[in-house]
Amino acid sequence: MKKPIITSIFVIVIVLGFIFGSNLEIPYKYTAYIAVAILAFLDSLFGGIVSNMKNEFNMTVFVSGFFVNAVIAIFLVYLGQKLNVDIYLAAVIVFTTRLFTNLSIIRRLIIENIEENKKSKKE
């Protein structure tokens, strides 16, 4: 598949997820699982965007990273609930840190691309 098609699929899936998920009521006992799964998804999504912008995107790495991250994070939530300790907060902190790191890389790459386009127009 070509990159524009992959990007279009991602955008469509995200929009559909927001549309169908906005009216969904989640029982309280599952909220930690859902929160960690959403963070794992966002971490993989923004990591995929960064690698795509660097022309290093690999679908196998993207999909396996999402599932491995989600499984480990969900296991931490489960273990924490069994031990009555909020271990899942470690996953939340890691995913949030990586999310902001990827967002800063995306911002930097966009700015560099804009500056390169300005330089090429002047020449």
Looking at the predicted structure, is the pLDDT value of residue 3 above 80? Answer: no
Amino acid symbol at 57 = F
Q: What pLDDT was estimated at residue 88?
A: 82
Q: What share of the chain is helix, strand, coil (3-state, %, to 5)?
A: 85, 0, 15
Rounded Cα distance, 43 and 104, in Å: 13
Average pLDDT over residues 60-70: 88
Which has more confidence, 6 or 66? 66
Rounded Cα distance, 33 and 42, in Å: 14
Radius of gyration in angstroms for the set of CA atoms belonging to the chain, rounded to a whole number:
18
Rounded to two decimals, what is the model's pTM? 0.75
Rounded Cα distance, 81 and 109, in Å: 40
Element (H, E) at 30: none
CA proximity to 74, closest of 61, 91, 86: 91
Per-residue confidence at 7, pLDDT binned at 50, 70, 90? low
Q: What pLDDT was estimated at residue 62?
A: 87
Q: 24 exposed, middle or buried (CB, 10 Å; 0-12, 13-18, 19+)?
A: exposed
